[in-house]
Amino acid sequence: MTSQRKKVAIVGAGIIGVNSALEVQRRYPNYDLTLIADKFNGETLSDGAAGLLRPDTYVFGPSLEISQQWVDDSYSFYKNLLKNRDELCGINEVSGYMFSTKNPDIIKNHYMKNCSPDFREATDEELKAHSSVENQLQINYGSFFTSIVIECKLFLPWALKKISNNAVTIIKRKIESLEELCGEYDIIFNCTGIRAGKLCNDVNVLPIRGQVIRVKAPWVDKFYYCDSDTYIIPSISDGTVVLGGCRQFGSHNEQVNERNTEEIIEKCTALLPSLKEALKTDYKVWVGLRPYRNKIRVEIEHINGTVIVHNYGHGGYGITLAPGTVKYAVDLLNSVNN
């Protein structure tokens, strides 16, 4: 696409920011692009996430149709990267289960059913095999499907390298106000996650505290969910698994809670007893604040003659939805340019 050369700033270098840089670079190769952030790679929230592409079932976009399109576009983006096996970008296809002990609605996911090629109900044999009298775990409902795990500890550095190799300027700087950049840039992408609440005076942004454990267990090659907040997600590249979790709305506490750790271990080992052996060795506990908004904000605003493209509020589904919301955001920019 050819167009007038413009100066563009992308603020934020988590999963939304780096995907925005890749997409703008692809569609507007003649733009003068700068990525600005105070945190990169391992410093970002994205780096600690388990990274399974699996959205929640509520309508997080302007409509159900647009929400589904975001999921489909993300799935297609990551699926295409699977073909580049020569590039270490941290993308792997993984199959697994969603289980429930109490509610059949928990194992339904209309978004994944529409894009995962093998989404099906779990068989009675599979439910029985994962139940345990000893652990007092009776699984009554389940579904099986194949999805994609995005390991951000590999994906973020890969994307940053790809971006910088294409003449994008990368600046480490903390932005206190988007107005700081107005006048200097024609277009600003706001991909600041939890800080968008302050930068935009957006009272709808609040943190959802999450805590997970990462432990070495290379024999685990499937993902598992049980009753929503218990999950086991493997990282193929290094043989670790992420065990979770919790969703604490409105909590700003970034300290490890030992009771949360105990609960995660108890629930995950009941679901997959072989983890007891893995947890006898060292493991890491990570806490992050997910940037939740009742509706993800992907829209354009004009401030002092500068086009602001907002893209934030993904909660715990930033990795799942990043390519989809980024494509939608750049489509909005395209309509403004036209």
Q: Which residues contact 154 (CB under 8 A, 6 or more apart)?
A: 88, 89, 90, 237
Residue 220 lies in a domain: yes
* pLDDT (mean) for 216-237: 95
Q: What pLDDT does 247 receive? A: 92
Residue 2 lies in a domain: no
Residue 294 lies in a domain: yes
Average pLDDT value over all residues in the chain: 94
- What is the residue whose two structure tokens read 């670790």? 240
Q: Quick one: what percent of the chain has pLDDT higher than 90?
A: 88
Q: What pLDDT does 2 receive? A: 45
Q: What pLDDT does 1 receive? A: 41
Q: Which of 42-46, 166-170, 246-250 bottoms out in mean pLDDT, i.e. has the lowest?
A: 42-46
What's the rounded Cα separation, in Å, for the pair 314 and 335? 23
What is the domain-level CATH number for residue 115? 3.40.50.720
Q: Is the pLDDT of residue 245 over 60?
A: yes
Q: Is the pLDDT of residue 54 over 80?
A: yes
Q: What pLDDT does 167 receive? A: 87
Q: What pLDDT does 86 receive? A: 60
How does pLDDT run across 71-115, given as a tens digit for each residue? 999 999 999 999 876 678 999 999 999 999 999 999 999 999 999
In 3D space, the residue among 62, 13, 61 whose CA is nearest the CA of residue 41 turns out to be: 13
Residue 49 lies in a domain: yes
What's the rounded Cα separation, in Å, for the pair 136 and 88? 41
Q: What pLDDT does 143 receive? A: 98
- What is the residue whose two structure tokens read 């024609």? 186
Q: Are 100 and 226 in contact (CB under 8 A)?
A: yes
Q: Which residues contact 177 (CB under 8 A, 6 or more apart)?
A: 199
What's the rounded Cα separation, in Å, for the pair 290 and 60? 15
Q: What pLDDT does 85 receive? A: 67
Q: Is the pLDDT of residue 229 over 80?
A: yes
* pLDDT (mean) for 23-42: 95
Q: Is the pLDDT of residue 199 over 90?
A: yes
- Which residues define the annotated binding site? 50-52, 192, 231, 290, 315-320
Q: Give the structural domain span for 125.
A: 7-337
* pLDDT (mean) for 257-278: 96
pLDDT-derived band at 52 (thresholds 50, 70, 90) equals: very high
Q: Return the structure tokens found at 260.
A: 């949360």
Q: What pLDDT does 337 receive? A: 76
Residue 253 lies in a domain: yes
Count how many domains the chain has: 1
CA dihedral 333, 300, 305, 14 (to 10 degrees): -80
- Which residues define the annotated binding site for FAD? 50-52, 192, 315-320
pLDDT-derived band at 334 (thresholds 50, 70, 90) equals: confident
Q: Are 71 and 324 in contact (CB under 8 A)?
A: yes
Residue 255 lies in a domain: yes
The angle at the Cα of 179, spanning 173 to 180, to the nearest 5 degrees, equals 35
Q: Is the pLDDT of residue 200 over 90?
A: yes
Q: What pLDDT does 232 receive? A: 98
Question: Is this prediction's pTM over 0.85?
Answer: yes
* pLDDT (mean) for 125-139: 91
Residue 201 lies in a domain: yes
Q: What pLDDT does 144 receive? A: 98
> Rounded to an integer, what is the distance from CA 80 to the centroid of its chain?
17
- Which residues define the annotated binding site for D-dopa? 231, 290, 316
pLDDT-derived band at 48 (thresholds 50, 70, 90) equals: confident
Q: Are 321 and 15 in contact (CB under 8 A)?
A: no
In 3D space, the residue among 59, 120, 125, 128 whose CA is nearest the CA of residue 293 turns out to be: 59
Q: What pLDDT does 177 receive? A: 95
Residue 1 lies in a domain: no
For every residue of 259-314, DSSP letters joined together read HHHHHHHHHHHHH-TTHHHHTTS-EEEEEEEEEEEEEEEEEEEEETTEEEEEEEEE
pLDDT-derived band at 180 (thresholds 50, 70, 90) equals: very high
Q: What pLDDT does 338 receive? A: 66
What's the rounded Cα separation, in Å, for the pair 160 and 171? 12
